[in-house]
Amino acid sequence: MCSSFRLPVIVFAAGFVMACCLIEGSYTLPSIGHYDSISGIDFIQICLNNCVQCKKMFGDYFQGQTCAESCLKFKGKAIPDCEDIGSIAPFLNTLD
């Protein structure tokens, strides 16, 4: 189940990186998220990593794809924490 989640995210991220390289005309790999130059933190990358971690922890009960899409849509402003039910509640589901 986990590999079916990672493949679309990896393909999307690779396409995004390639598009940024073409737009910038640069040969360096850009950050995929909002990068805080003072602290050196890439909030979208942290958000995506947390989505993957929660997917590993909760399996089919966690909507990893929806979590990752939320990270990208909101630019890492709402980072899910697998131990905080409030932050992951929108991505939890019940198995019937």
User: Domain containing 49: what range?
Assistant: 40-91
Distance of CA 6 to the CA centre of its chain: 10
Residue scoring higher pLDDT (38 or 56): 56
Residue 87: inside a domain: yes
In this structure, is residue 64 part of a structural domain?
Answer: yes
pLDDT of 34 strictly over 80: no
Per the domain annotation, does 48 fall within a domain? yes
Report the pLDDT value the prediction gives residue 29, as an integer from 0 to 100. Answer: 38
Count H helices, E strands: the chain?
4, 2
pLDDT, tens only, 39-60? 667 899 999 999 999 999 999 9
In a domain, 16, yes or no: no
In-domain check, residue 68: yes
pTM metric for this prediction: 0.61
How many independent structural domains does the chain possess? Answer: 1
Give the pLDDT of residue 41: 79
**How many Å apart are CA 47 and CA 65, to the nearest integer?**
12
Within a domain: 61: yes
Please tell me the predicted confidence (pLDDT) of residue 95: 73
- Examine residue 10 and state whether it is found in any structural domain, yes or no: no
